[in-house]
């Protein structure tokens, strides 16, 4: 029997993992497509991936245009793979037609394949407010993938790793805490990992997803932001000594917030030296442009709040000074304001 999975945001990450889920032969995906709806329906998608191989034309089981259209059946997983840009619209708002059906689907887990710090909070608060006990799983993708050719092709180069874990609700979310079952959450996580593994990708279940999110944000808050502010590739940034030093210094600020936010055992998984491992792991000749820069160049809103704003919010909450990140946030906010002004002028 095939499990029904709904995926909202059929871009680079969404298409890659939707394809893997269907390749498991145990799942069928309803993909909510926006600008690429006609293309995918008519021609399918070309995938050129070091992990999945070259697939000339692939279509998910069902392609729909809106979330409301997708909300006609229960799903085992609802996967969010669009950019997280709460300064434009909250993800919970985009998913509302699906979320409103959750009272009939207590077994549905929500999966956030998105970058950011604290991006799960809106979901956990929404579930608590509506007295629902659905689980929220986060995925941190260590992969370079891009939708190109007007969304007709998704490319993925190099290694691919998807770190996945479920969120335990904070005690302040009384309703959700009362309904939370570690056993059910673990089974859902195991099922998701099995599907992805059977679909030839590389899922890695972890018990501490908060630490994994901080680990991932180290890359985004440093590489993504510096590449975007300088409109340079990863390789271009790595080629300049002062920029390499800045990458490490920015990551040290993020680590100081992470250490003040996480439990001692979680903190211990993120030693200060991890920033040098992250820098060393990058190919000095990489021509990769982080998706934040791709968005800037395409005139689309960037994930400024989710990636930098989320860290700043935590920094204020735990009383840690982060002057480099404040400067980065200011610079990106200027660019974001201009992007949103142009976008509003067009609509």
Ligand X SMILES: NC(=O)c1ccc[n+]([C@@H]2O[C@H](COP(=O)([O-])OP(=O)(O)OC[C@H]3O[C@@H](n4cnc5c(N)ncnc54)[C@H](OP(=O)(O)O)[C@@H]3O)[C@@H](O)[C@H]2O)c1
Residues lying near ligand X in the complex (CB under 6 A) are found at 8-14, 32, 34-36, 81-84, 94, 113-115, 141, 143-147, 151, 291, 303
Closest to ligand X by CB, 173 or 254: 254
Q: How far is the CB of 242 from ligand X (least distance, A)?
A: 26
**CA proximity to 156, closest of 17, 62, 277:** 17
Question: 325 with 315: CB under 8 angstroms?
Answer: yes
Contact 165, 182 (CB under 8 A): no
Say how far residue 273 (Cα) sits from the centre of its chain. 24
Number of H helices, E strands in the chain: 18, 10
- Nearest distance, CB of residue 222 and ligand X, angstroms: 14
Tokens linked to 152 = 């007709």
Least spacing, CB of residue 8 vs ligand X, in Å: 5
The nearest distance, CB 314 to ligand X, in angstroms, is: 18
Spatial distance between the Cα atoms of 129 and 188, rounded to a whole number of angstroms: 23
Helix axis angle for 209-219 and 274-281, nearest 10°, is: 60
Nearer to ligand X, 221 or 258 (CB): 221
Nearer to ligand X, 76 or 114 (CB): 114
Residue with Cβ nearer ligand X (201 or 320): 201
Q: Which is nearer to ligand X, 217 or 238 (CB)?
A: 217
Smallest gap from Cβ 36 to ligand X, in A, equals 6
Distance CA 233, CA 288 (A): 6
**Distance (Å, whole) CA 14 – CA 147:** 10
**Closer to ligand X at the Cβ: 133 or 235?**
235
What is the CA angle 30-35-41, rounded to 5? 50
Q: Quick one: 60 or 320, whose CB is closer to ligand X? A: 60
Residue nearest to ligand X (CB): 11
CB of residue 202 to ligand X, shortest distance in Å: 13
What whole-number distance in Å separates Cα of residue 134 and Cα of residue 106?
A: 6
Measured from the CB of residue 254, what is the shortest distance to ligand X in angstroms? 16
Distance of alpha carbon 29 from alpha carbon 77, whole angstroms: 10
């Amino acid at each position: 029997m095939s499990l029904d999975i709904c995926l909202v945001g059929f871009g680079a990450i969404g298409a890659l993992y939707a394809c893997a889920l269907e390749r498991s032969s145990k799942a069928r995906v309803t993909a909510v497509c926006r600008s690429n709806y006609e293309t995918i329906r008519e021609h399918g998608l070309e995938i050129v991936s070091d992990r999945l191989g070259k697939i000339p034309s692939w279509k998910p089981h069902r392609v729909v245009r809106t979330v409301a259209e997708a909300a006609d059946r229960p799903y085992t997983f609802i996967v969010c793979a669009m950019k997280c840009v709460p300064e434009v619209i909250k993800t919970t708002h985009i998913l509302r037609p699906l979320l409103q059906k959750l009272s009939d689907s207590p077994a549905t887990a929500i999966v956030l394949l998105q970058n950011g710090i604290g991006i799960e909070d809106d979901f956990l608060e929404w579930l608590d407010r509506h007295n629902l006990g659905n689980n929220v799983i986060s995925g941190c993708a260590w992969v370079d993938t891009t939708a190109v050719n007007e969304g007709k092709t998704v490319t993925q180069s190099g290694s691919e790793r998807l770190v996945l874990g479920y969120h335990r609700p904070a005690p302040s979310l009384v309703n959700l805490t009362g309904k939370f079952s570690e056993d059910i959450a673990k089974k859902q996580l195991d099922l998701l990992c099995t599907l992805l593994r059977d679909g030839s990708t590389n899922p890695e279940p972890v018990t501490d997803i908060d630490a994994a999110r901080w680990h991932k944000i180290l890359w985004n808050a440093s590489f993504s932001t510096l590449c975007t502010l300088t409109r340079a590739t990863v390789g271009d940034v790595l080629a300049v000594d002062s920029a390499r030093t800045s990458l490490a210094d920015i990551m040290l600020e993020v680590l100081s917030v992470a250490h003040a936010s996480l439990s001692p055992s979680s903190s211990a998984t993120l030693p200060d030296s991890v920033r040098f491992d992250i820098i060393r792991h990058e190919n000095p000749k990489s021509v990769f442009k982080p998706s934040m820069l791709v968005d800037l160049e395409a005139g689309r809103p960037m994930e400024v709040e989710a990636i930098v704003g989320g860290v700043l919010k935590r920094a204020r909450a735990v009383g840690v000074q982060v002057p480099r990140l404040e400067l980065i946030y200011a610079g990106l906010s200027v660019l974001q304001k201009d992007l949103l002004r142009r976008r509003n002028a067009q609509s």
